[in-house]
Structure 1
């Protein structure tokens, strides 16, 4: 499976209100490298550089990679999703949680929904 780490790095950087220059300084990499990484899909990055970026973003390399997989946009060949927006928001929030925590929340929601019926 192909992932775009640059999208995840950019998302986390913006979430922490960092500029590309800030991230470059914190990771001891060049601004040009950070910029290229965030905007291109063809990425060739060493584990050392990825570790430096992860540390600068206050995370770990495995978590950065896992998040890039988790937030990967999947193209649908079918009709446009008609799921109500509030359900989409719940699903998006669940995707942000660690797997074990998301499973516990889902199980709790199922119990609650069954009690409502």
Structure 2
């Protein structure tokens, strides 16, 4: 059975903010005070995947960390999380075999075979 994988990516701003905060030897309390945000907000941002943050709050944090919002966002891509989802392929085996044979053909020949097959399938479905 053929395996199909779908990749989705998300960035984690909290990990980047935490990294920068620790690099500057600041506590969450220090960052909260410097950014005029609550310690609970900083803590939740750093420890959870909930990245629901306004641009204003992100700007406040960036200023408190002596950097810019775009810089935090760009560096957060280093901590991107890649999620792989497997989807069952329910395509019948005989269709997979036909597709495999078509892939082996030259494109113009495969196109002629497909057109012939479509004509044949339509003719069979008329009955």
Normalised by the length of structure 2, the TM-score is 0.56
Aligned to 1:45: 53
Q: How many residues align?
A: 76
Instruction: Name 1:18's counterpart in structure 2.
Output: 26
Residues of 2 paired with 1:70 and 1:63: CA distance?
A: 12
Q: Which runs of 4+ in 1 moved over 2 A?
A: 70-75
Aligned partner (choices 66, 80, 87) of residue 72 of structure 1: 80
Higher strand share: 2
CA distance in 2, matches of 1:19, 1:67: 20
Instruction: Give the distance between the partners of 1:37 and 1:15, measured in 2 at CA.
Output: 17
Larger of the two Rg values belongs to structure = 2
Counterparts of residues 56-67 of structure 1 (less than 5 Å): 56-67=64-75
| Unmatched tracts of structure 1, length 5 or more | 76-117
Instruction: Tell me by how many angstroms 1:71 deviates.
Output: 3.8
Higher relative contact order (CA 8 A, sep 6+): 2
Once the two structures are TM-superposed, the CA of residue 74 in structure 1 deviates from its matched residue by 5.6
Q: Equivalences for 1:82-93 in 2 at 5 Å?
A: none
SS of alignment partner, residue 64 of structure 1: helix
Considering only aligned residues, what root-mean-square deviation do their CA atoms show, in Å? Answer: 1.7
